[in-house]
A and B are shown apart, each in its own frame.
Chain A
């Protein structure tokens, strides 16, 4: 295979790869080898992976190939992801494989069973290539990554986003066909945004949290990162659904997320969130790209208009008062017994959260309910809400590594950018991030579409219509 053909294969979509395997046009073993070769060539620089599983993946590839060859009407049924190599954030348990949550504290943690989402992808035929890097304990703000500094494929001096950093990098650089991340307050959508890929946060309760290292019980949500919207729909169909081991999963039936993908946006009502799109914090190039995307959706037949949601500007702070306090509860034992085993940024964030006055937490919880009501009221008027996924493109890595020396810096580094992704998290609604342009410096810009609870089909349908009308998803990072 020529280098160009190998690269084209690696950048193929999940749906395409699954079709090639099923049609016996591509061996799962060759697919695994193709991704392992790219990991070998690129990952020392990008640090998407914490653990790579070459032997296990090749063995799974051989089994998948044998199953295909025995296939046909009389052969064993093949799962929808049969023979497709994927990777998961190292926050999800994997039986017999280290699950570190990005921390030295769990360096030697070997789970005895898979997280539900990992088990479901395995049952669908996916081949696990390895475990992906993340900000420590999925918190964000890590200064020195214990397992290597993850880097943005579009410019390796820049931040790939987090907390599912490796999940964004691995998909953008084609180091796997698709990945799984976890989104408490933007941790799927932020790396998707800065790495130029698709990231879907499903409705809270749509996907099991069992076997995922927790941060905030009422917001933690697993979600796929993919190169196409169709793949996001495909992956969601595999992982979604009730789980007796997570009592807070919904018992609603899982629809066929691919069924309405091609229905377009004609007749949909879309509200542009004024505060997040036209506010002073939003970078000019981001605003221009997102408003151009809104115009494109209008051109495709959607009714688009501005709407105001004043409380979203407080969402970042409300989120940190609630989710960080939940996290402090999770970490209280290690904070007292192993404080210096945390990264400095993680430790200081958890210490801060441990000292939030309970009255402030109560006010934040009430404000969350009010924000949720405001978002739901808007979603009663509009089918979708639209805004940037992030207020700026990926900043330099060095910007997030410096110690914090003033109150104003905290607001800049933590609250502002979280106000773009946390409204959907606080409200429990689905949201998708997808590429909508590039800055003059060549960094990806991302559009966010937020939908009604359990209405992923409309979110995916609109995202797919936009994706098909543009060529952003077809661009590849300059990795050499």
Chain B
């Protein structure tokens, strides 16, 4: 994925009504780009058939 610029991040925030300062936008862009980059390897996993179910409290115990 192409890196998001601070201007794009500012526009995204404005589109969802989040008030951001110029200082916020610069750092949020670094954070968001880093997170999306860190999630990049997930594209290599066979996730299509995995159900996104979190832990449930009373599932059967492991053997």
Contacts and interface: CB of A to CB of B under 8 A. Distances in A.
B41 interface: yes
Nearest to A204: B55
Contacts of B2: none
Contacts of B38: 314, 316-317, 411, 415
A355 B32 contact: yes
B52 A368 contact: yes
A418 to B, nearest CB: 10
B48 to A, nearest CB: 8
A351 B20 contact: yes
A249 interface: yes
Given A348-B27, A355-B28, A428 B34 contact: no
Interface of A: 204-206, 218-219, 248-252, 314, 316-318, 320-321, 335-336, 339, 347-349, 351-352, 354-357, 360, 362-370, 372, 376, 379-380, 403-411, 414-415, 427-428, 452-455
Nearest to A322: B54
B31 to A, nearest CB: 4
B44 to A, nearest CB: 10
Interface of B: 9, 12-13, 16-20, 23-24, 27-28, 30-39, 41-43, 45, 47, 50-59, 61-63
A407 B55 contact: no
Given A349-B31, A427-B55, 8 more contacts: A314-B42, A347-B24, A367-B47, A403-B27, A407-B33, A410-B34, A452-B61, A452-B62
Given A360-B36, A454-B61, A314 B41 contact: yes
Contact of B52 (A360, A369, A428, A452): A369
Contacts of B63: 380
Contacts of A415: 34, 38
Contacts of A349: 31
Nearest to A249: B57
A349 B61 CA distance: 36
A379 B33 CA distance: 34
Contacts of B62: 376, 379-380, 452-453
A454 B56 CA distance: 12
A222 B43 CA distance: 33
Given A336-B18, A407-B37, A355 B9 contact: yes
User: Interface residues of A: mostly helix, strand, loop or mixed?
Assistant: helix
Nearest to B17: A336
B35 A321 contact: yes
6 contacts: A250-B58, A352-B32, A355-B9, A360-B36, A410-B35, A453-B62
Contacts of A428: 54-55
A380 B34 CA distance: 34
Contacts of B24: 347-348, 351
A249 to B, nearest CB: 6
A219, A314, A355 — which one has the most chain B CB atoms within 10 A of its CB? A355
Given A335-B18, A351-B24, A320 B55 contact: no
Given A348-B28, A355-B28, A317 B39 contact: yes
B35 A320 contact: yes
Nearest to A250: B57
B35 A218 contact: no
Contacts of A252: 58
A357 to B, nearest CB: 8
B54 to A, nearest CB: 4
A369 B39 CA distance: 15
Contact of B30 (A314, A316, A409): A409
Given A204-B57, A355-B12, A360 B39 contact: yes
B57 A370 contact: no
B39 to A, nearest CB: 5
Q: Which 10 A-B pairs have the closest CB atoms?
A: A428-B55, A205-B57, A365-B52, A410-B34, A317-B38, A218-B54, A250-B57, A366-B47, A352-B31, A407-B34
Contacts of A379: 62
B52 A362 contact: yes
Contacts of A335: 18
B42 A367 contact: yes
Contacts of B20: 339, 351
A369 B50 contact: yes
B5 to A, nearest CB: 13
A367 B45 contact: yes
A340 B39 CA distance: 29
B30 A405 contact: yes
Nearest to B60: A453
Contacts of B23: 403
B41 to A, nearest CB: 6
A251 B41 CA distance: 38
Contacts of B45: 366-367, 370
A352 B35 contact: yes
B9 to A, nearest CB: 7
